[in-house]
């Protein structure tokens, strides 16, 4: 047994949902003013269907909501009747097609453009027709087509042979015919209530410092983690709001690299962030909230070593950031610049190893010579050197640092003159000449000289 509620124009949708949830947890929102609900089992509480309908309308009226109520054996029939008749309508189970026979064809427009009329989803199969009312501006609607056939009521359309309807209108026409008979095209898909993953603790007296705050965060993270685990959710963003005695709020938000719900990891991340951004007054109220996301499913391989868990990586990155400072740890990323050694630091987030299909062997090259590769092993800090220049070319290099050789230049290539950022004074401008020199000891270096000075530096070795 199903019911349908149709509210007056201007009704708050949340208030209408609250009325429906007082009677059944299985409700489906069909529009801003329409809700269908599963009423199975309510006979034991309220009695027959008509008593349930009157109780629904009375409860809505107590909340200040004027609604129409229709109860039938199918959701489709209940929706059609709640749009056709005002007040309370109760249809006995099994009599839906007979009672719908005299209703006008225009009621089919109730389902026009409805998302529920398109039940087929990616990766699933549906045995019900997949149809949706076309846009009247571009093509003729099924209702107009049926009226041109001389049909005026739902019963006349339902009485037509389904094979003939399919031959003229396709599967969509058969689906519309099922609606005219009051048959459900798909099961009810319950709408889940919006849940708040949040915990708050009012303190008896203000606290200062991270040590007492860690105990408070521990008390809040445990039930929050249990709530996430029950719902198979993970935290995507962690919000910590500290209400201070100065009537201000110190709020921090942490973007987590992967969904997680470990209470200890979440507490550690929050404490490390607050260590870098401490509040400026004592705290008298603490609130912890998360933005939920579907839980993480991990499948490890028997052939490769698993990566550290996101909880471990996040904690390690947070400790490094607290020690070194924000923006000083992570993964280097190339930037669109000709400046030597230019890079940007982004958050460290390793990609999972993609499983390789063992059934598909990879082609193996036989007697294939590897392609030669030239690499520059760049020194993080260039090494000072002394270079003798004759006729504008380096002829000898001396390196005073231990572990590095020097000597006569056998081959020299260059100079390559590069410059940039000269329009941004003090923001990393450069102007230099670069040389690749092969010394007599067999080592090839890249050396350069800043054109505004006389000193030479070694940028790296060429392999």
* pLDDT, tens digit, 9 for 90 and up, residues 60-82: 888 888 889 999 888 888 889 88
Tell me 151's DSSP state. Answer: -
- Using pLDDT thresholds of 50, 70 and 90, give the confidence band for residue 370: low
DSSP 281-327: S-EEEEEEEEEEEEPP-----SSSPPPPPHHHHHHHHHHHHHHH-TT
- Using pLDDT thresholds of 50, 70 and 90, give the confidence band for residue 170: confident
- Using pLDDT thresholds of 50, 70 and 90, give the confidence band for residue 126: very low
- Using pLDDT thresholds of 50, 70 and 90, give the confidence band for residue 194: confident
- Using pLDDT thresholds of 50, 70 and 90, give the confidence band for residue 122: very low
Reply yes or no on whether the pLDDT at 121 is more than 50: no
pLDDT of residue 114: 52
Mean pLDDT of 409-415: 88
pLDDT of residue 287: 94
pLDDT of residue 427: 65
* Right CATH for 2-180 from 3.30.360.10, 2.60.40.10, 3.30.70.270, 3.40.50.150: 3.30.70.270
pLDDT of residue 424: 74
- 129 versus 411: the higher-pLDDT residue is 411
pLDDT tens sequence across 423-435: 776 666 788 888 8
pLDDT of residue 184: 86
Residue 213 vs residues 135, 268, 284, 401: alpha-carbon distances, Å: 59, 11, 11, 50
pLDDT of residue 322: 72
What are the residue boundaries of the structural domains of the chain, listed by start?
2-180, 202-294, 376-462
> Over the chain, what is the mean pLDDT?
80
Task: Tell me which H or E stretch contains 398.
Answer: strand 393-398
pLDDT of residue 450: 83
Fold assignment, 202-294: Dna Ligase; domain 1 (3.30.1490)
pLDDT of residue 286: 94
Cα–Cα distance for residue pair 148/160, rounded to 1 Å: 15
Cα–Cα distance for residue pair 201/348, rounded to 1 Å: 33
- Using pLDDT thresholds of 50, 70 and 90, give the confidence band for residue 148: confident
| Residue 215: strand pairing partners | none
Evaluate if pTM is beyond 0.75.
Answer: no
pLDDT of residue 356: 43
Cα–Cα distance for residue pair 201/216, rounded to 1 Å: 8
pLDDT tens sequence across 296-352: 766 767 777 766 677 677 777 777 777 777 777 778 888 887 777 778 887 776 665
pLDDT of residue 5: 87
Reply yes or no on whether the pLDDT at 115 is more than 60: no
Reply yes or no on whether the pLDDT at 460 is more than 60: yes
pLDDT of residue 349: 65
pLDDT of residue 140: 59
pLDDT tens sequence across 208-250: 888 899 999 999 999 999 999 888 888 888 999 999 999 999 9
Tell me 244's DSSP state. Answer: E
Going edge to edge, which strands form the sheet with 233-244? 198-207, 283-294, 233-244, 249-260
pLDDT of residue 421: 79
Span of 98-102, 284-288, 343-347 with lowest mean pLDDT: 343-347
- Using pLDDT thresholds of 50, 70 and 90, give the confidence band for residue 112: low
Count CB-CB contacts under 10 A for residue 336.
Answer: 5
pLDDT of residue 283: 93
């Amino acid at each position: 047994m199903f019911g349908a509620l149709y509210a007056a124009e201007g009704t708050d949708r949340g208030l209408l949902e609250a009325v429906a949830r007082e009677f059944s947890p299985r409700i489906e929102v069909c529009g801003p003013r329409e809700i269908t609900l599963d009423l199975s089992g309510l006979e034991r509480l309220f009695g027959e269907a008509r008593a349930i309908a009157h109780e629904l309308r009375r409860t809505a009226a107590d909340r200040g909501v004027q609604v129409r109520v229709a109860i039938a054996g199918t959701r489709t029939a209940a929706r059609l009747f709640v749009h056709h008749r005002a007040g309370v309508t109760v249809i006995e189970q099994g009599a839906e097609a007979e009672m719908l026979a005299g209703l006008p064809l225009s009621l089919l427009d109730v389902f026009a453009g409805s998302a529920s009329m398109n039940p087929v989803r990616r990766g699933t199969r549906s045995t019900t027709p997949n149809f949706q009312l076309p846009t009247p501006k571009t093509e003729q609607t099924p209702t107009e087509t049926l009226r041109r056939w001389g049909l005026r009521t739902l019963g006349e359309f339902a009485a037509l042979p389904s094979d003939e309807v399919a031959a003229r209108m396709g599967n969509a026409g058969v689906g519309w015919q099922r609606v005219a008979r009051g048959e459900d095209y798909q099961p009810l898909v319950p709408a889940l209530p919006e849940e708040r993953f949040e915990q708050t603790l009012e303190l008896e007296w203000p606290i200062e410092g991270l040590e007492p705050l860690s105990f408070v965060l521990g008390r809040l993270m445990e039930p929050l983690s249990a709530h996430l685990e029950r719902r198979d959710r993970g935290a995507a963003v962690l919000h910590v709001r500290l209400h201070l005695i100065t009537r201000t709020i110190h709020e921090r938000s942490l973007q987590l690299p992967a969904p997680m719900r470990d209470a200890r990891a979440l507490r550690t991340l929050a404490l490390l962030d607050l260590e870098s951004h401490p509040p400026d007054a004592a705290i008298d109220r603490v609130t912890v909230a998360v933005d939920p996301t579907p839980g993480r499913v991990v499948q490890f391989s028997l052939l490769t070593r698993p990566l550290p868990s996101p909880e471990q990586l996040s904690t390690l990155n947070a400790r490094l950031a607290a020690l070194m400072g924000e923006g000083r740890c992570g993964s280097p990323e190339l930037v669109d610049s000709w400046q030597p050694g230019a890079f940007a630091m982004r958050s460290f987030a390793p990609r999972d190893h993609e499983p390789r299909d063992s059934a598909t062997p990879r082609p193996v090259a036989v007697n294939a010579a590897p392609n030669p590769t030239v690499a520059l092993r760049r020194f993080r800090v260039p090494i000072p050197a002394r270079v003798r220049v004759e006729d504008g070319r380096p002829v000898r290099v001396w390196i005073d640092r231990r572990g590095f050789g020097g000597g006569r230049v056998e081959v020299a290539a260059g100079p390559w003159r590069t410059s940039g950022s000269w329009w941004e004074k003090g923001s990393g401008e450069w102007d230099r000449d670069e040389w690749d020199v092969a010394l007599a000891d067999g080592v090839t270096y890249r050396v350069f000289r800043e054109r505004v000075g006389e000193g030479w530096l070694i940028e790296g070795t060429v392999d």
